[in-house]
Amino acid sequence: MASLLNTVPSIRLSSFKCNPLRAPHLSYPISLTPSRSRFVVRATETDSEVKAKVPDKAPPESGSSINQILGIKGAKQETDKWKIRVQLTKPVTWPPLVWGVVCGAAASGNFHWTPEDVAKSIVCMLMSGPFLTGYTQTINDWYDREIDAINEPYRPIPSGAISENEVITQIWVLLLGGLALGGLLDVWAGHDVPVIFYLAVGGSLLSYIYSAPPLKLKQNGWIGNFALGSSYISLPWWAGQALFGTLTPDVIVLTLLYSIAGLGIAIVNDFKSIEGDRAMGLQSLPVAFGSETAKWICVGAIDITQLSVAGYLFSVGKPYYALALLGLTAPQIFFQFKYFLKDPVKYDVKYQASAQPFLVLGLLVTALATSH
């Protein structure tokens, strides 16, 4: 619900830079006045004087059509504006937010396989994934265009494949569409207090200050990555749980704890951007501590979080769920040593594809544990 409902949904309330969440995985600092919207977005668009010369187009053989539509590195240069618009929303980052909604619905203990409940959950997923996470990714690319000109010069914005007016229009459409869906879900659920709308507003605001000056949370590796992790894990979970049940303090604390694992996942995506982050003065953890130390901080955040949650489940009398979570953590540690710790840049995709399915299953196990 990156947010929140980007960003972030029920817990997500979206958003697991899925770093989900530049990644992760709701009132706005941007003025809603049409005549001012463009001005505000552009007024702080540049926080560096670094300029990069960007080729007009990339060699056709250098990119993949699949990577292009998913919005990941190695994309084929595209001219179709709708494909470019989808690329900016980075569909590859939507699944963690969608999964967060599933976890929140499961944790509520009140989801039933009826057409109405299924329809509600789908709308919540659309809010958290395509709309608010899409908003988060698009605005992040807008403020990252100079870094991308260094790291990924063929991305749509630095290459000039899409105009600034088209990008700004997309940001507003996705933001307002996501907020509207949040309000609709509150009415549908019969809420006296528009909890889901508030989560959407909070997640969207978090997404904005993550990417935009003057706060630009992503400049600090600790704060930025935790914000990203919470957007991808907590917000969608909260949204899903609020849609079908009631958010409780223990669930809020547990999901925020799990967001530390999200911080670790966000660090994985920082390694491939070291050159650009250093040039732009961003203190990502690989830049601040060096790759060797940062990779251990990354796996430590992921593993210690899950072991701590398993310990909590044991302490509250749910040993079977705790054992299941430990069983899902073990293969993650195996793949960390097999891929990530050997070379976090070369094997980042292999590591995430191999290990993250076990992490998201662990989230569901934790959600089911809290519902019983």
Q: Are residues 245 and 280 in contact, defined by beta-carbon separation less than 8 angstroms? A: no
Residue 323, Cβ density class (10 Å: 0-12 exposed, 13-18 middle, ≥19 buried): middle
Q: What is the pLDDT of residues 246-301, one digit of tens each?
A: 988 888 989 998 999 989 988 998 888 888 788 877 788 999 999 999 999 999 99
d(CA 238, CA 84): 31
Q: What is the mean pLDDT of the chain?
A: 83
Q: Which helix (H) or strand (E) holds 332?
A: helix 319-335
Closest CA to 359 of 290, 286, 298, 292: 298
Q: What DSSP state is assigned to residue 147? A: H
Lowest mean pLDDT, pick from 65-79, 148-162, 293-307, 342-356: 65-79
Q: What is the pLDDT of residues 17-52, one digit of tens each?
A: 434 334 443 333 333 344 444 434 444 444 433 343
Tokens of 123: 């709308």
